[in-house]
Structure 1
Amino acid sequence: MPAVAPRHSIAVVYAGLFFGIGVYLPFFPVWLTGRDFSASMIGFALAVPMAVRLATMPLGGLLADRTGRPRATLIGYALATACCFVGVVLAPDAALMLVALGLAASFWQPSLPVLDAYTVARRAEGLVDYGRVRLWGSLSFIAGNLASGLVLRVFPADALIWMIVAGSLVAAFAACALQPDARPLPEPARPRGAASARARLPRALRIGIAAAALVQGSHALLYAFGSIQWREAGLSDTAIGGLWAVGVLAEVVLFRSGTRITALIGAERLLLAGGLAGLARFGAMALDPPVVLLPFLQVLHAGTFGCTYLGTVELVARLAPAGRGAATQAMAAWAVAIVMTGATLASGPLWQALGPLAFAASALMAGGGAVLALLAYADRPQPQSAGSGG
């Protein structure tokens, strides 16, 4: 019997990982601006770690499945992430900083699908409620948003990177309290190669992953230039952190009831809800709405990110081949990374050419995801399995 209840240790690992993300997403572009990066260079810098993780993310999930040691994998990834971000802040020039950032992403991003798969496995054992442990990641994301805005009022911008390092170290130490690693189970003989692995995934799962990738990728412009736009509109760093927190707080409310909601409406319709929310959210942002409307648009993050995230995790949990949960979660995250990388690379030129009107492209991506979600629903295996929870 572990000294720390599984739900507590898992929640703290989520909290450590997402605290760093809560610092990185809204304020890393601001940090890059302080280093005299142009809009195009900011888009390029944000795309570098995304491109790197295209190769490393599937391997990260596969490693956890093949070794049967998700705890050791999570500890190693978190410690390596902390070390790489130390390199980011201490790098003497932009080129070395981008190298350190790419290395950080190769460990940081694969941690999340491995942790999701581990948590879903504990849910199947009746030890945790996925939505209620995952929400601590979202709450920590909010803490990172708010803390970053406050820190920037007092300390130099480099303090943001040290906050990411601290979050990764918390995740590493919390992972030490997870249940002991299981021994890897022998796997039946199977054809080798990526093509055969893809062929084993049901068609509905492949379509659903593509839908999730489009909806999540529609956030790229917001992540790259949202904080910069709001700064130019006259908002303080504290207010910007508050706007990000509003969106994630709405996500937390969703996750709090994630198990019931997923069981009620199912994974495919969650993906559809995410796409429709993105169509509305980013369509409105393309019109450069007044500041007073921004909190209401941020609430739609519960749909664009939260519904899409829950729908993806549930779809994979329901349809992934036996013994390949972490690898399939990683494959879904990999698909999101591919779309996010392309959208982030395009975000700089789009923003320079169109300004806020560039969000129309984000709205179109989310709408495409909604269409694919409908196709996934139509193609779902019959009879449809009852949702097993968020």
Structure 2
Amino acid sequence: MQRLSAKPALSLAYFAYFGVLGIFVPYFGLFLDGRGFDSAQIGLLLALVTATRIVGPALWGTLADRTAEPLRIMRLGAAIAILAWFSSFIDAGFWPLLLGFAFFSFFWTAILPQLEVCTFHALNDDAGAYSKIRTFGSVGYIILVMLGGWLYQQFGSEFMPATATLFLLLLLVSLLNLPAMPVAPASLQRKMSFTELFSSKVLWLFMGAAFLLQMSFAPFYGFFTLYSRDLGYSGTVTGLFIGVAVLAEIVAFYYAGAILNRYRFRSLLALCYGLTVVRWLMVAFLAHSPLALALSMLLHAGSFAIAHSCAMQFIQQFFPKAQRGRGQAFYAGIIYGGGGALGAYIAGISWQNGVGASQTYVLAAVAAFFAMLLAISLPRQMPRAD
């Protein structure tokens, strides 16, 4: 099989990976609602599935660092995730679906952290080039979000299993076509002791801020489509709202390299988190206005795209090369797994089948506010690994 060159292959992998998320993230709540689950069950399922990301990334990251085989880890994860995804085709009640998605989520976590490591390795740690390749992920996401809104109107929430399966297969094909990217085994590279790593105040300030930010995103990821439906917006209009957010994300990712080079890390991160506070308050109190809701979606450029680029820069600078796989895994597990799980659980309790929608987004704004305070506490000059 002829291999693609590195940049096109990586771009396709990001396109397919986030294309799957473009179906899973916005429409999973609607899918579960269509299966007859209440908001507490939806919150619990989201929390337990997300919690698998706490263990998964650390396991896969350690395995990838020790074997220096991140491509093989990604391919294995994608193949087994596809098999687990087939459980979504069967309507057998809450617990079988929970088990199936727990397996899916666990093996899904093998992919993105190692994809990030391979991308930075192939690009010689060029953050600007990374942001441009990462843009293809946002393009895949927005295409599937827009398509999903139309499919939901045409076929209902059961459109999700088959549609996501197609992009899961595309992802596996793209990973099989990635060229070899040899990474020196961790044993041959400089390492920092875990005591040295985890005694760093800077690391805990950054991770604490990122954890709170991810908690704040839980109502958006888990319940926004239900919220939009309850406000009277159609599936197509809901897809357009999310599309506005992802378009803003695409533009922000494209220019992220220049933005990161121009502004101090601490100031930029605090600004992104502050914009997130404004965003959730707008969703809480102004979502009945299409214009206000669309404007809140534009803030996704800062609250996600630039904030994520800052996080990737932090990991590349703070962790030595030998431990970047584990750094990515730590970020994915603790932040996306732990923060997402706790946020989803709290949101599921607070949502109250839509009655508590506004208060849930206010709680999200409070979490983002404390994240901003932690970001402000970071030092002016960020430490760099040798």
CA 1:348–1:153: 2 relative to 1, 3 Å: same
- Poorly superposed stretches of 4+, deviation over 4 Å: 125-128, 188-192
Alignment match, 2:170: 170
Structure 1 residues 371 and 85: alpha-carbon distance in aligned structure 2, compared to 1, 3 A threshold: same
* 106-115 vs 281-290, which moves further: 281-290
Deviations 1:87-108 (A, max 9, x none): 2222523211110001111011
Separation in 1 of the partners of 2:90 and 2:195?
A: 41
Partner of 1:121: 121
Of 193, 197, 200 in structure 2, the residue corresponding to residue 200 of structure 1 is 197
**Residue identity in the other structure for 1:361:** L
More off after superposition, 60-69 vs 340-349: 60-69
CA distance in 1: counterparts of 2:195 and 2:101, whole angstroms: 29
Number of aligned positions between the proteins: 379
Residue of structure 2 equivalent to 1:361: 363
Kept in 2: contact 1:205–1:376 (CA 8 A): no
**Which residue of the partner structure matches residue 16 of structure 1?**
16
Following TM superposition, by how much is the alpha carbon of 1:267 offset from its aligned partner in structure 2, in angstroms?
A: 3.5
Quick one: structure 1 residues 122 and 100, their matched pair in 2 at CA, closer, same or farther if it must change by over 3 Å?
A: same
Give matches, 1:235-254, under 5 Å: 235-254=233-252
Amino acid at match of 1:113: P
Give distance in 2, aligned partners of 1:298 and 1:189: 43
SS in 2 for 1:324: helix
8 Å CA contact 1:12–1:174 kept in 2: the answer is yes
Distance 2:315 2:169 in 1: 29
1:38 corresponds to which residue? 38
Is 2:149–2:239's contact at 8 Å kept on the other side of the alignment? yes
TM-score of the two chains, using structure 2 as the length reference: 0.92
Alignment of 1:107-256 (within 5 A): 107-124=107-124, 129-182=129-182, 185=185, 187=187, 197=194, 199-201=196-198, 202-256=200-254
Distance 1:256 1:360 in 2: 31
Q: Aligned partners of 2:380, 2:65: CA distance in 1, in Å?
A: 30
Q: CA deviation at 1:118?
A: 1.3
Residues 328-339 of structure 1: pairs in structure 2 closer than 5 A: 328-336=327-335, 337-339=337-339
CA contact (8 A) 1:208 1:268 kept: no
Give 1:203 deviation, angstroms: 3.1
Per the alignment, residue 388 of structure 1 pairs with: none
The aligned amino acid for 1:24 is F
AA partner of residue 312 (structure 1): A
Q: For structure 1, list consecutive stretches of 5 or more residues without a partner in the other structure.
A: 386-390
Per-residue displacement from partner, 1:191-246 (whole Å, max 9, x unpaired)? 99xxx526425432332122122112211011122111110111111111111111
Q: Which amino acid aligns with 1:154?
A: Q
Q: Distance in 2 between matches of 1:254 and 1:189?
A: 34
CA 1:246–1:338 in structure 2 vs 1: closer, same or farther (change >3 Å)?
same
- CA gap of 1:266–1:108, structure 2 versus 1, over 3 A, is farther
1:370 pairs with 2:372: yes
1:183 CA displacement = 6.2
Structure 1 pair 198–264 and aligned structure 2 pair: CA distance change class (3 A)? farther
Q: What do the CA deviations read for 1:63-112 (whole angstroms, capped 9, x no partner)?
A: 22211111111111112111111122225232111100011110113411
Any idea what the Cα deviations from partners look like across 1:39-84, whole Å, max 9, x if unmatched? 1111111112111221112112222221111111111111211111
Q: Is the 8 A contact 1:276 1:366 kept in 2?
A: yes
Query: In 2 relative to 1, CA 189–173 (structure 1 residues): closer, same or farther, beyond 3 Å?
Result: closer
Cα distance in 1 for residues equivalent to 2:126 and 2:208 = 30
TM-align CA RMSD? 2.3
Q: Deviations over 1:343-371 (max 9, x none)?
A: 11011221126331221111111111111
**SS of match in other structure, 1:187:** helix
- Structure 1 residue identity aligned to 2:298: V
* 8 A contact 1:10–1:133 mirrored in 2: yes
Identity of aligned residues (%): 23
The residue that corresponds to 1:322 in the other structure is 321
| Alignment deviations for residues 241-288 of structure 1 (CA, whole Å, 9 cap, x no partner) | 111111011010001111111111244333212211111111222224
Matches within 5 A, 1:39-118: 39-90=39-90, 92-118=92-118
Report the 3-state secondary structure (helix = DSSP H, G, I; strand = E; otherwise coil) of the residue aligned with 2:356: helix
